Every structure is written in C-alpha cells, then in structure tokens.
Amino acid sequence: MAQIAAGRLDRRIAIQSATEVPDAAGEPIQTWATTVTLWASYEEARGEEHPGADQRVAKRRVLFGIRYRTDVAITPRRDRRIVFDSRNYDILAVHEDARFPRRSRLTIEAEARAE
C-alpha cells in the first residue's frame, strides 16, 4: 500500500473533543481536550461570505489530509474540532481520498470563521 510522502504532511494539527466539567458553582461548562496531535497537509478549499446580524460573516473552508487512522474518531460532530495555527475549525466531513489507495489517506473538510 502506498503511503503519503512525509514532506506533504508539513502542518501540525490537534483534534479535540468537547467535554463538560463543573465550574466553581457546580454548573456545567464546555472545555476542549486534545485527543491526538498529528501531521497533516493543508489546502484552502474556498471562502464565502454571507450576511450576518449587522455585518457580513466570512467563512474559510479548508482541507486537511492525514494518514488513515483507526484509533481516532474523526467525525463531523459538534463536539469535535481541529486546532491549527491558533484557529479552531469545525469538522464538516471526512472522506477517504480517492487519489490514494484505500485506507492510506483521509481528507478532512473543515471550516473556520475568518477574523
């Protein structure tokens, strides 16, 4: 099975999961814990703007490529995210990359709000 060239995996990303912990008053608050940190490729997919409440909201969609993993739940759920370059990305979709042999690469489609 062909592997992804290590030189293409030149970005360090963290996959995080949300958990709830009680604050000082016992009320639940959401915190994020890193599940795994790994090397990935990075590609800008597209950006888009749409009207928000009193302002235009810009979103940036990106693709992260990683080696296939069975030990990490990478799913497009609200309690999972990617942190890259001090920015949080919501995971929208996870695809097996058709350009590579089966089970050698995953492409994670993610979105972050532009600042």
Q: What is the pLDDT of residue 100?
A: 66
The vertex-44 CA angle with 107 and 112, nearest 5°, equals 85
* DSSP, residue by residue, 14-45: EEEEEEEEE-TTS-EEEEEEEEEEEEEEEEEE
d(C-alpha 76, C-alpha 6), whole Å: 26
Q: Which domains does the chain have, with CATH numbers?
A: 6-113 (2.40.10.270)
Mean pLDDT within 22-40: 93
Q: What is the pLDDT of residue 1?
A: 42
58-111: pLDDT as tens digits: 678 999 999 888 776 667 778 889 999 999 999 998 887 666 666 678 889 999
